[in-house]
A and B are shown apart, each in its own frame.
Chain A
Amino acid sequence: MTTQKVDPILTAVLDSRFNALVEQVAGAMVRTSMSPIFAEARDISTGLFDAKLRLIAQKDYLPILAANLPLAIQVIAEYWNGDIHEGDIFVHNDAYGKNSHQPDINVAKPIFHRGKLVFWVITKGHHIDIGGKGLCGYDPTAQTCWDDGLIIKPSKLYVEGKRNKSVWDLITQNTKLPFMVEADLNCQVGACIVGERGMLEVVEKYDVDTINACLDEIMNHTEQGFRDMIGEFKDGVYYGEKAFDDDIVNRGKPVTVRAKITVKGSDITIDLSESDPQVPSYMNSGWGNTYSVAAMAVFYFMAGDVKRNDGALRPIKLITKKGTCVDPEFPAAVTMCTCTFTETILEAVLLALKDARPEWSTAAHGKMSLHIAAGFNPRTNRPFALIDFVTCGNGSGGTDGYDGWPQAGPGHCMGQLRSPDPEVMELCSPQTVWRNELIGGREGYGKYRGGIATSYKVEYTANVAAVECGQGHAPWAVPTGIFGGGSPPPSSPRVIHKDGTVTPIQINTFWDVKEGDIYEQDMQGGAGWGDPLERDPQHVLKDVDDEFLTIDGARDIYGVVIDPETGKVDEVATKNLRQEKAEAAATKEQ
């Protein structure tokens, strides 16, 4: 088989087929879920694997899940080695079993053809609740993974086609919204069946050996393409570090991730072992998640839409040290790994690699301060839980030639998280959204500025419980502008009570919402790329025209003089002012 030359045409044919199929599987999840996390925000990913557990194709609606599927499937397959049968469907969420965090539940189905296991299909999604005392799985007081929530070692939801009722009950009854968790597990099972139907159709048409030979080819191609791109990085050792606010227990003391990156030929090694020690709260990232972010950060430096299969992961090597915040010892809590940690590791890597390939470097996204609420909803007469993804309305960072995008989300979302519709949210949560619009002045300035931020104001019409999770309240945690670009200001969510008094909300704390309370947050835009004094004056004028920037701001920040009468750029005055500002900056530096 191996000696025979693989048909390049069939290879291309199958490649396009598999990519379409993972998308269809993801579509089934999005369209049938009962939780806004899957359906509206699309915090999910799906993948296909061969019998050797190599990633064939994936649809990572949420990029942070990108490199995590291969780890999850390995753990499941090893755990049940020798006891995997046709009709079995597995479930798994253990963060110390290389999963991301516990709310992300994997459901995987081995695909059999003529009695032989030939492929796997897997779906992963962030469930609305995973037990514990947190809201939607988020508990800032958590100190261990048991506090984080229910731990599911690889288990069988279906045993040879028969629903394993006790496992379903054990899982769902240990969450606070059993009916929704059950519904979304059903939706994942359904999506796996959609994937199985599609794969069996392919297997019927082409035999498994031929498909596998083509898969070798596809993955080798991807690996080669990926290595070629890494080859365009300048060889060397690069350093970058980034901190977030604190570990909750020691307020005000930053926690830092340190990246040492070695680029050599077509290999890239990311060494995070100098990062701070693990912390006594949910602010840690298990190895599975850390690996996924490392891969995602490298993907961010690649041209265009890179394929993310087994081949793409081969050139990337991750080094960590046990006991650090990026590879904690069991049983440290890890819930914030997919957001705060992802943002922080990602930025440390981006900052390090920026000098290896400046033209492809990107300033970081705004940092997320996430609002979550849960309780009883009088409008629907049943409990509700809400990860309020409007508070992911951060801008993305600027890059050479392009401004960041507005509302593209924080670093772990990258414009893939669908912002909720305010009308749908009001229909299913006790809320009135008074403001959800863009706000200028909270983006990092630059030759290519960060994406514009979102301003949010929502009133509650019932008493509910809330938690604020994430980072970006401390000045050191905001994304850093690069090559002379600026950083956005820190965010500071607050509650406006019925009587008009205002209470700031501390990051990573629970708080009680009284009926009539208003939650308000001006989010962070993205960070800037390059010196603002080099920004195209017409782009500055456009921002003024769009009311994201004032005429005074254009002058003070960008050195662009706009005539308020004509609304046009005064070219001569602009040239002079920019020169003056540049000289003043040079003098200051001396």
Chain B
Amino acid sequence: MGFKIGIDVGGTFSDFLLTDDEGNSEIYKTLTTPEDPSIGVLNGLRMMSKARNLKFSDFIKDVSIISHGTTITTNAVLTGDTAKTGLVTTKGHRDWLQTRRGLKPYCYDSKINAPEPLVPRRLRQVVEERVNYKGDVLLPLKEEDIYKVAAKFREENVDAVAVCLVFSFQNTTHEERVKQILEQELPGTYVCTSSEVLPEVRIYERGSTTVFNAAVGPVLRKYIKSALERLAESGFKGVLLIMQSNGGMMTPEVAMDFAVNSLNSGPAAGPKAGILLGERHGCKNILTVDMGGTSFDACMIRNGEPEITTELDVGMFRMAAPSIAIHSIGAGGGSIAWVDHEGMFRVGPKSAGADPGPACYDRECLFGDVNEPTVTDANVVLGYLGDYFHGAEMQIYPELARNAIKDKLCQKLGLNTEDAAYGIYKIVNTNMAQAMRVASVNKGYDPRGALMVSAGGAGPMHACAIADELEMTLILVPKISSVFCAAGMLISDIKHDFVRVAHMILLPEYLDVDLINKCFDDMKAEATKVLTQEGIAEKDIVFEYSADIRYEGQFNEITTPVTMSYITEKFEKDTLPLLHQNFNKRHNVLYGYSLEGFTQELMSLRLTAVGKVEKPKFVESPSKGKDASGAIKGQRDIYYEKSWMTVPVYDGPKMGHDNSLIGPAIIEEPTTTILVPPKWQLTCDRYDNYMLYPEGISLEYALSKIRD
């Protein structure tokens, strides 16, 4: 017997998804307790045992896995509530964190302040030492400098220290020695080195990531310790797993050393849930989109794997640990519609947020007499959004939405209220479609061959219109989007990324097969060690091999999959042409050309190690038949493509497996509203999720177009 629990600790609410061995699942919700989120987690667990009439200790001993996403590190960075952090670097290189390679976001805008780094200059200290580009020691490490730095940090009561020395990825001994002395001199202080966190070339990118790791390390450590203690006290004997930004899970022990991997992990669970939902229909190419109140996230999944990036910025500072590539823009229900100084109609990126929120909320407006019109206001005027908003818990005032649009937009644009509202709808859709294009087309993937999974409260009102713009033909809207992320965590495996710098020319005469295999073996040994410590049996470990390759002399690489021999599981010389070919192909798709026959250069080798964990089962719902008319609760007028029409409104909670309908129609769920426009139809799948596809084709046909 084993319960598996996925928990998404959000800013306000924590969402719980409980599954049992039979595949039954239940949903719970508690208030997040920001001062110590483990309290809220325990509250949720108690709620579950109560619902099952079990003594808490009896319930908890049957829980085998708790998969857990946390925004605690992200919030710490956003609110400035990180550990007091010191930085040790090579003498002469004190300021790379502050200068950020000299970049300013908008060149002609002089009215912005340079961002203040997480570590102020007086806590960025230097030691005399130097390793060269090959890893040879040019200047020995001056140990007395470390003791001086330790004294300074002690005096300043530093909680955490990042160590990042020049070329440490080529020779780790100096960094290791600095760490050793600091740990000895500053007991209890969190110390991490750049060669552990991200052994890659480029000091700012590597160092900034290491600084983030140090700054959030003690925060996450404190939280995990508290959670583990509480769980142990209550008799929990299962595994606690923490979500990472790369889309995999990690155990608490690993999380404490690599806290940076949990930074920005919040949105990573969404694509994972999308994979689960898509795979049920045999779809491996998926574009997941999540439209909330202020932001819109898009992520491309290819062949069941989300796109990974190492170029993420958190508050203008680089976080280069591999992360799911989520393209995020300021577009949501709260995005403000406005006319810019050039007279151009715009929507976002500024948002009315939760307060004052859209004009139709009738919150007090501090500036001027009418609130700014937002996307939500447009949806109200167009009739997409009715008064059953947030399960009718929230009152909406359509007149205020109309007035805001009329006063702020109509005159300036010479449009009537409906057309202006429809303009807002259309422009925000274009912006979102553009973000999806960046996530797919710009990376060389065609969205037309992908399933769109649309989550988030506001998304399903816009999904079909966006699909039209991108010529996508199948959309899945999860029935219950509140636990979308919690489900994503439950189906995620433990995953760790490793990298080794291995520079060589990829020509037969220069190819060092032994070095390549040594690097991979080395990483495999490290990965196996970590994963077995995390309780994964060796047979459940899967490795993925890739190489960062470029044409000789280029400055940027493309991560290209490496094929290993089926028999030996080693890299063999005769697969080199295949590697070249894969790289050439990708280069052409991304950048418009490839140089066939041009010398290629290997920069680093990467290993992704996945420890398979047992997945929960989910039971199918019984068929409710095709006819959905029993769920109709009323009708209302909507404005779509320049005309008003009367459409039926369906009560979502009454709809389920096999129910179908043809647009135009509206479906109201407690946390979301789905707009099925004219020329679209909808069917509920075996798990009651909504599938939307164009009228005139069958669901099977729509699915066949995107299964490849």
**Contact B342 A457, beta carbon cutoff 8 Å:** no
**Contact A437 B93, beta carbon cutoff 8 Å:** yes
**Contact B101 A421, beta carbon cutoff 8 Å:** yes
Which chain B residue lies CB-closest to A414? B107
Most buried by A among B92, B342, B434, B503: B342
The yes or no answer to B593 lying at the interface (CB within 8 A) is: yes
**Other contacts beyond A423-B203, A424-B202: 13, CB < 8 A:** A9-B427, A16-B431, A16-B434, A17-B434, A28-B590, A32-B554, A34-B551, A40-B555, A192-B592, A393-B99, A418-B103, A436-B96, A437-B93
Given A222-B342, A435-B92, A305 and B108 contact (CB-CB distance below 8 Å): yes
- Interface set of B (CB-CB < 8 Å, partner A): 92-96, 98-99, 101-104, 106-114, 120-122, 130, 132-133, 138, 166-167, 201-205, 340-346, 413, 415, 422-423, 426-427, 430-431, 434, 437-438, 442, 503, 551-556, 587, 590-593, 595
**Contact B587 A32, beta carbon cutoff 8 Å:** yes
List of B residues within 8 angstroms of A409 by Cβ: 102
**Contact B343 A225, beta carbon cutoff 8 Å:** yes
List of B residues within 8 angstroms of A16 by Cβ: 430-431, 434
CA distance A435 to B126 in the complex (A): 12
**Contact A191 B92, beta carbon cutoff 8 Å:** no
The yes or no answer to A30 lying at the interface (CB within 8 A) is: yes
The yes or no answer to A243 lying at the interface (CB within 8 A) is: no
CA distance A56 to B450 in the complex (A): 31
List of B residues within 8 angstroms of A302 by Cβ: 108
**Contact B554 A403, beta carbon cutoff 8 Å:** no
**Contact B413 A8, beta carbon cutoff 8 Å:** yes
**Contact A28 B555, beta carbon cutoff 8 Å:** no
Quote the shortest CB–CB distance from B548 to chain A (angstroms).
13
**Contact B111 A418, beta carbon cutoff 8 Å:** no
A164-172, A181-189, A286-294, A500-508 - interface stretch: A181-189
Given A30-B556, A417-B102, A401 and B592 contact (CB-CB distance below 8 Å): no
**Contact B109 A34, beta carbon cutoff 8 Å:** no
**Contact A399 B111, beta carbon cutoff 8 Å:** yes
Which chain A residue lies CB-closest to B94? A437
Please provide the 4 A-B residue pairs with the shortest distance between their CB atoms, ordered closest to farther. A415-B104, A225-B342, A190-B593, A39-B555
Given A40-B555, A191-B591, A457-B92, A426 and B132 contact (CB-CB distance below 8 Å): yes
15 residue pairs bridging A and B, Cβ less than 8 Å apart: A9-B423, A16-B431, A33-B554, A225-B344, A305-B106, A360-B110, A401-B111, A407-B101, A415-B107, A416-B103, A424-B201, A434-B130, A436-B93, A437-B95, A546-B120
Within 8 A of B (CB), among A427-463: 427, 432-438, 451, 454, 457
CA distance A50 to B422 in the complex (A): 29
Quote the shortest CB–CB distance from B671 to chain A (angstroms).
29
**Contact B556 A32, beta carbon cutoff 8 Å:** yes
List of B residues within 8 angstroms of A192 by Cβ: 592
CA distance A29 to B102 in the complex (A): 20
CA distance A190 to B203 in the complex (A): 30
CA distance A40 to B96 in the complex (A): 15
Given A30-B556, A416-B107, A424-B201, A406 and B99 contact (CB-CB distance below 8 Å): yes
**Contact A225 B340, beta carbon cutoff 8 Å:** yes
Give the secondary structure class of B's interface: loop
List of B residues within 8 angstroms of A419 by Cβ: 99, 101-102
Which chain A residue lies CB-closest to B471? A205
- Interface set of A (CB-CB < 8 Å, partner B): 8-9, 11-13, 15-17, 20, 24, 27-28, 30-34, 36, 39-40, 60, 63, 179-180, 183, 186-187, 189-194, 197, 218, 221-222, 224-226, 228-229, 299-300, 302-307, 360, 362, 379, 392-393, 396-397, 399, 401-403, 405-409, 414-419, 421-424, 426-427, 432-438, 451, 454, 457, 545-548
Most buried by A among B94, B101, B122, B201: B101
Set A27, A189, A396, A416: member contacting B593, Cβ < 8 A: A189
Quote the shortest CB–CB distance from A189 to chain B (angstroms).
6
**Contact B101 A418, beta carbon cutoff 8 Å:** yes
Given A197-B592, A307-B342, A547-B122, A438 and B133 contact (CB-CB distance below 8 Å): no
List of A residues within 8 angstroms of B343 by Cβ: 221, 224-225
List of A residues within 8 angstroms of B96 by Cβ: 436-437
List of A residues within 8 angstroms of B342 by Cβ: 221-222, 224-226, 307
Quote the shortest CB–CB distance from B456 to chain A (angstroms).
21
Quote the shortest CB–CB distance from A429 to chain B (angstroms).
10
Given A8-B415, A31-B556, A183-B551, A402 and B113 contact (CB-CB distance below 8 Å): yes
Set B106, B202, B434, B556: member contacting A20, Cβ < 8 A: B434
Quote the shortest CB–CB distance from B152 to chain A (angstroms).
12
CA distance A349 to B96 in the complex (A): 33
Quote the shortest CB–CB distance from B141 to chain A (angstroms).
16
CA distance A574 to B578 in the complex (A): 72
Given A224-B342, A416-B103, A421-B202, A379 and B108 contact (CB-CB distance below 8 Å): no
List of A residues within 8 angstroms of B167 by Cβ: 423, 426
Which chain B residue lies CB-closest to A425? B133
Set B108, B340, B426: member contacting A9, Cβ < 8 A: B426
CA distance A228 to B344 in the complex (A): 14
Most buried by A among B102, B202, B203, B343: B102
Quote the shortest CB–CB distance from B359 to chain A (angstroms).
20
Which chain B residue lies CB-closest to A14? B430
List of B residues within 8 angstroms of A454 by Cβ: 99
List of A residues within 8 angstroms of B340 by Cβ: 225
**Contact B202 A12, beta carbon cutoff 8 Å:** no
**Contact B122 A545, beta carbon cutoff 8 Å:** yes
CA distance A414 to B587 in the complex (A): 31
**Contact B593 A299, beta carbon cutoff 8 Å:** no
List of B residues within 8 angstroms of A225 by Cβ: 340-344
**Contact B104 A414, beta carbon cutoff 8 Å:** yes
Which chain A residue lies CB-closest to B205? A421
List of A residues within 8 angstroms of B431 by Cβ: 16
**Contact B114 A406, beta carbon cutoff 8 Å:** yes
Given A31-B556, A192-B592, A432-B132, A11 and B344 contact (CB-CB distance below 8 Å): yes
List of A residues within 8 angstroms of B93 by Cβ: 422, 433, 435-437
**Contact A13 B427, beta carbon cutoff 8 Å:** yes
**Contact B109 A304, beta carbon cutoff 8 Å:** yes
**Contact B108 A423, beta carbon cutoff 8 Å:** no
CA distance A418 to B346 in the complex (A): 31
CA distance A95 to B342 in the complex (A): 34
List of A residues within 8 angstroms of B109 by Cβ: 303-305
CA distance A427 to B98 in the complex (A): 23
CA distance A231 to B112 in the complex (A): 23
Given A190-B591, A193-B592, A546 and B102 contact (CB-CB distance below 8 Å): no
Quote the shortest CB–CB distance from A554 to chain B (angstroms).
15
Quote the shortest CB–CB distance from B203 to chain A (angstroms).
6
Most buried by B among A192, A362, A433, A437: A437
